[in-house]
Structure 1
């Protein structure tokens, strides 16, 4: 059993002060928000974040990552994701063992994305081309060869920044959405238990885009049959009913006065 030598509130200053000993030892986080969150200090000078929890009546321990390669902030975020997995009855430790056992044949994010496109995206979307473009142009160059379990938020942000660098904030938001949906699909298949994209707030990528849309004259002529007054009236009534169902919708005249 690994001895516990300290229970402290973690900070970078505290972690950097930890020194190796002849045998490894453990320090637990005292903040009640991080129950079971700890760091093991190994004789090799490695500091390893771990999560100890109880599932189905058994105590288990899962490795989160090594400090300082993984920051304290990132480790806490991974900890929260593991807590969420345990609450859903998923064992992070068991999943880690499965990944190690099958590492020689472990699938990549690219193979996962191919399955998602085939099984989920295309059947549910008549026009899936745009999302497929985001995958091939912005996502796979960064994540394609990585194992899904090795992908963290910083890697996903690299994909987001690629789209944002082109000046397309809404495209960058969409990149995050696509990665999140691929991981949701992977979780439903049992390939992974955590979704690193779910903790990225789209508002931190770019402001939500406006959905305001003004019909062009030629589009109005398609909507309205000018040769049939009755058909014209029916279309007007349909549009008014439709507008009532949209929160914040408004109808303006040519002088930009609100009619509805």
Structure 2
């Protein structure tokens, strides 16, 4: 019968000092604290991927940023994932990729990607003016919203706020660029929705179009 590993205590973890060589303090269930000769203390989890025979390891973070209790919660979650046939390390990578994609599809990031794509066709002053107007008038209101979640009324509110300060031509130019940004997003596959800005020009106050 395998010898049962007694669980670690907070005092043991806190008092773990560096030695000439790296060593490990085991908590059981695959969780251990790796203490490097440099003094760093890293939580690791040892396990076998579903369907694999070889062992692998994943990091749970460093101590004291990640406490013993936090590391144990991560171990419990990882073991639950393994019981369901899920590789916890792969699940973590998938979650990180999903978060990164979510961030990249916020309106501001899509707009900046559109702006970078269009740069070669614009004069420098035009490019700078377009970006400045987006940063000043549009990003503060819808820049952090996912491109697929923006509704016509959200865009209209941003454009009408420009009208309310008397800048009707700037409002229309901004709207025209928002339309182009959504066309760019749709063509790139960022969203499958019909362009929510495409029919808003008829709602705006009449103004002579300006070109930047």
TM-score (norm 1): 0.39
Greater RCO, CA 8 A, separation 6+: 2
